Amino acid sequence: MSPVERRNVGRGAAAARAAVVLCVAGVLVGAAPAAYADPAPDGKRDLEDVRKRIDDLYRRAERATDAYNGAKEQVERQQKEIVKLAKDIVSTQERRKQLKKRAGSLASAQYRGGGLPAEAKLMLNRDPEGFLDNATLARKGQHAVRTVLGQLARTEDDLQGYAQDASERWDRLEKERKKKAAAKKDIEKKIDAAERIESQLKAEEKERLKKLEEDRAHRAQTKWLDSGILREIGGDASAQGKKAISYATAQIGKNYVWGAEGPDTFDCSGLTMRAWEAAGRTIPRTSQEQWRQLRRIDIDDMRPGDLIIYHEDASHVGMYLGDGAIVHAPRPGRQVTIAGAGSMRILGVVRPDAKG
């Protein structure tokens, strides 16, 4: 029975619920893996120190990934705005051309009339009916000229405004492109450093390192469960939440790739964004913006489909499945998987649902 199916089971005793959670994919609870720490005196590597160094590098890469994703989103937004402004400028230039043509026609008509303004012709006309006709024509002519000149002036102002806005947009675009490039370089540098460290390990050391990671996650999850938190959490997923969970869990086994939004690879926030998009809800692209913009929920009120934001800098996110489990995209070299909701430091919980 999957975590998604189990969330519909009635609430049991805390111990029973914890036991169920601990069985999920062998990562939530169960027999605790042995703790590994190579002694330094005999010349062996201190794998716990290696684990911390690698974890720190990937954490910093994840923070840079959030910066990259944010800059990428801004670049795309600025590009769309610039395209829109370009269209506005073209249409306004065409309008200005037409207004100038109309203004020229009015000037030509006045010239063909002998160069006399309509008011002078009005004074020289001795025919009462002609006087009234000329008076009407004079008013209409004056109004037409004022209207065209006013429209032309507003059009010139619009063009100047569009040009200024376009210039500012280009400046912002260039700044975001530089931020994006710098973040990309930072990410690649840190991931390369982590991979170099791992590549220097022997096969048996890599296996022990993996067990160390599991052991750390197990201890954190056990501590979280021992707090009795599951006695407080028992909400049911909304209709949208169920759709988001269905999408997210269908991606299990796909590789983590920084900056990826699917459909074949994901980073942590790319997965949650696409999952809620599949549920009909547009949410921010990055975990930091998800934390900043989405409605925050007390952890006691958490329900399946909600997003758990991790670490003090909101650099990681996972989707709560119920029974103390999440689905998330962990880091480079790992796949989308199920993990304990308390296996990392929780910053808070947000709810993407529009209502409820």
218 included as an active-site residue: no
Calpha distance 69→74 (Å, rounded): 9
The per-residue DSSP string of 79-133 comes to: HHHHHHHHHHHHHHHHHHHHHHHHHHHHHHHHHHTTT--HHHHHHH---HHHHHH
- Residues 354/281, Cβ–Cβ less than 8 Å: yes
Beta-carbon contacts of residue 72 (< 8 Å; ≥ 6 apart) = 180, 259, 285
- Residues 217/340, Cβ–Cβ less than 8 Å: yes
23 included as an active-site residue: no
Calpha distance 139→130 (Å, rounded): 14
CA dihedral sign, ordered 104, 107, 113, 119: positive
Calpha distance 280→274 (Å, rounded): 10
Residue with tokens 């919980």: 349
316 included as an active-site residue: yes
- Residues 33/222, Cβ–Cβ less than 8 Å: no
Q: Are strands 337-340 and 295-297 parallel, antiparallel or unpaired?
A: unpaired
Q: Which two tokens stand for residue 224?
A: 């979280």
Active site residues: 268, 316, 328
